[in-house]
Structure 1
Protein backbone atom coordinates (compact mmCIF):
# COMPACT_ATOMS: atom_id res chain seq x y z
CA UNK A 1 0.00 0.00 0.00
CA UNK A 2 1.44 3.41 -0.93
CA UNK A 3 2.46 5.61 1.97
CA UNK A 4 0.31 8.50 0.75
CA UNK A 5 -2.87 6.39 0.50
CA UNK A 6 -5.82 8.39 1.84
CA UNK A 7 -8.63 6.33 3.37
CA UNK A 8 -10.91 9.38 3.52
CA UNK A 9 -10.70 9.67 -0.25
CA UNK A 10 -11.59 6.01 -0.84
CA UNK A 11 -15.30 5.42 -1.29
CA UNK A 12 -17.21 2.59 -2.90
CA UNK A 13 -19.75 3.79 -5.44
CA UNK A 14 -23.32 3.14 -4.24
CA UNK A 15 -24.23 1.58 -7.60
CA UNK A 16 -21.31 -0.85 -7.32
CA UNK A 17 -22.28 -1.73 -3.76
CA UNK A 18 -25.85 -2.44 -4.90
CA UNK A 19 -24.52 -4.88 -7.52
CA UNK A 20 -21.89 -6.66 -5.42
CA UNK A 21 -22.86 -9.71 -3.38
CA UNK A 22 -20.98 -12.22 -1.29
CA UNK A 23 -19.25 -14.63 -3.68
CA UNK A 24 -20.06 -17.55 -1.38
CA UNK A 25 -23.71 -17.11 -0.41
CA UNK A 26 -24.83 -14.21 -2.64
CA UNK A 27 -26.00 -12.15 0.36
CA UNK A 28 -25.85 -8.35 0.24
CA UNK A 29 -22.70 -6.77 1.62
CA UNK A 30 -22.19 -3.97 4.13
CA UNK A 31 -19.55 -1.35 3.34
CA UNK A 32 -17.30 -0.49 6.30
CA UNK A 33 -15.61 2.72 5.20
CA UNK A 34 -13.33 2.99 8.25
CA UNK A 35 -11.87 -0.50 7.76
CA UNK A 36 -12.14 -0.49 3.95
CA UNK A 37 -13.95 -3.83 3.94
CA UNK A 38 -17.12 -5.35 2.55
CA UNK A 39 -18.91 -7.37 5.21
CA UNK A 40 -20.96 -10.52 4.76
CA UNK A 41 -22.85 -11.15 7.99
CA UNK A 42 -24.18 -14.52 6.78
CA UNK A 43 -20.71 -16.00 6.23
CA UNK A 44 -19.05 -13.88 8.95
CA UNK A 45 -16.42 -12.63 6.50
CA UNK A 46 -14.83 -9.26 5.71
CA UNK A 47 -13.53 -8.80 2.17
CA UNK A 48 -10.76 -6.19 1.84
CA UNK A 49 -10.83 -3.19 -0.48
CA UNK A 50 -7.37 -2.44 -1.85
CA UNK A 51 -6.62 0.56 -4.04
CA UNK A 52 -10.38 1.13 -4.47
CA UNK A 53 -10.88 -2.46 -5.72
CA UNK A 54 -12.94 -4.97 -3.72
CA UNK A 55 -11.03 -8.25 -3.35
CA UNK A 56 -13.87 -10.76 -3.41
CA UNK A 57 -11.80 -13.90 -2.83
CA UNK A 58 -12.52 -16.24 0.08
CA UNK A 59 -8.79 -16.73 0.69
CA UNK A 60 -8.33 -12.96 1.10
CA UNK A 61 -11.28 -12.47 3.48
CA UNK A 62 -10.87 -12.41 7.22
CA UNK A 63 -13.25 -14.06 9.67
CA UNK A 64 -15.35 -11.76 11.80
CA UNK A 65 -15.67 -12.18 15.55
CA UNK A 66 -19.05 -12.48 17.26
CA UNK A 67 -18.62 -8.94 18.61
CA UNK A 68 -18.02 -7.60 15.10
CA UNK A 69 -21.10 -9.39 13.77
CA UNK A 70 -23.17 -7.94 16.63
CA UNK A 71 -21.88 -4.44 15.87
CA UNK A 72 -22.91 -4.71 12.20
CA UNK A 73 -26.37 -5.93 13.25
CA UNK A 74 -27.18 -2.68 15.09
Structure 2
Protein backbone atom coordinates (compact mmCIF):
# COMPACT_ATOMS: atom_id res chain seq x y z
CA UNK A 1 0.00 0.00 0.00
CA UNK A 2 1.36 3.39 -0.96
CA UNK A 3 0.84 6.38 1.23
CA UNK A 4 -2.51 7.29 2.70
CA UNK A 5 -5.40 5.02 1.68
CA UNK A 6 -7.84 7.97 1.67
CA UNK A 7 -6.30 9.23 -1.57
CA UNK A 8 -8.04 6.37 -3.42
CA UNK A 9 -11.50 7.05 -2.02
CA UNK A 10 -14.08 8.19 -4.54
CA UNK A 11 -17.19 10.22 -4.11
CA UNK A 12 -20.36 8.13 -4.09
CA UNK A 13 -21.91 7.68 -7.54
CA UNK A 14 -25.52 8.43 -8.32
CA UNK A 15 -27.68 8.39 -11.43
CA UNK A 16 -27.67 11.67 -13.36
CA UNK A 17 -30.84 13.70 -13.09
CA UNK A 18 -32.42 15.14 -16.23
CA UNK A 19 -33.77 18.56 -15.23
CA UNK A 20 -35.29 19.23 -18.67
CA UNK A 21 -39.02 18.70 -18.72
CA UNK A 22 -40.36 16.46 -21.49
CA UNK A 23 -42.00 18.37 -24.31
CA UNK A 24 -45.54 17.72 -25.37
CA UNK A 25 -46.00 16.99 -29.09
CA UNK A 26 -46.72 20.12 -31.09
CA UNK A 27 -50.15 20.74 -32.49
CA UNK A 28 -50.51 21.04 -36.26
CA UNK A 29 -50.48 24.84 -36.05
CA UNK A 30 -47.16 24.76 -34.16
CA UNK A 31 -45.58 22.52 -36.77
CA UNK A 32 -46.82 24.82 -39.56
CA UNK A 33 -45.40 27.91 -37.81
CA UNK A 34 -41.99 26.27 -37.38
CA UNK A 35 -42.03 25.13 -41.00
CA UNK A 36 -42.92 28.65 -42.20
CA UNK A 37 -40.11 30.20 -40.14
CA UNK A 38 -37.58 27.64 -41.41
CA UNK A 39 -38.71 28.21 -44.99
CA UNK A 40 -38.09 31.96 -44.65
CA UNK A 41 -34.61 31.34 -43.22
CA UNK A 42 -33.72 28.94 -46.03
CA UNK A 43 -35.20 31.21 -48.73
CA UNK A 44 -33.14 34.17 -47.50
CA UNK A 45 -29.90 32.17 -47.14
CA UNK A 46 -26.99 33.11 -49.33
CA UNK A 47 -23.67 31.30 -49.04
CA UNK A 48 -20.77 33.54 -48.02
CA UNK A 49 -18.43 34.85 -50.69
CA UNK A 50 -15.36 32.65 -51.03
CA UNK A 51 -12.17 33.62 -52.81
CA UNK A 52 -11.86 31.81 -56.16
CA UNK A 53 -8.57 30.12 -55.19
CA UNK A 54 -10.10 28.78 -51.99
CA UNK A 55 -13.21 27.57 -53.84
CA UNK A 56 -10.95 25.74 -56.32
CA UNK A 57 -8.95 24.11 -53.52
CA UNK A 58 -12.19 23.07 -51.82
CA UNK A 59 -13.53 21.56 -55.05
CA UNK A 60 -10.24 19.66 -55.55
CA UNK A 61 -10.43 18.36 -51.97
CA UNK A 62 -14.03 17.20 -52.40
CA UNK A 63 -13.16 15.48 -55.70
CA UNK A 64 -10.18 13.73 -54.09
CA UNK A 65 -12.24 12.58 -51.10
CA UNK A 66 -15.02 11.33 -53.40
CA UNK A 67 -12.50 9.25 -55.36
CA UNK A 68 -11.20 7.86 -52.04
CA UNK A 69 -14.68 6.62 -51.21
CA UNK A 70 -16.32 9.42 -49.24
CA UNK A 71 -19.99 10.00 -50.00
CA UNK A 72 -20.67 12.77 -52.55
CA UNK A 73 -21.52 16.24 -51.27
CA UNK A 74 -23.49 19.16 -52.63
CA UNK A 75 -20.33 21.19 -53.31
Normalising by structure 2, we get a TM-score of 0.26
Structure with the higher fraction of residues in helix conformation: 2
Structure with the higher fraction of residues in strand conformation: 1
* Structure with larger RCO (C-alpha < 8 A, sep 6+): 1
Normalising by structure 1, we get a TM-score of 0.26
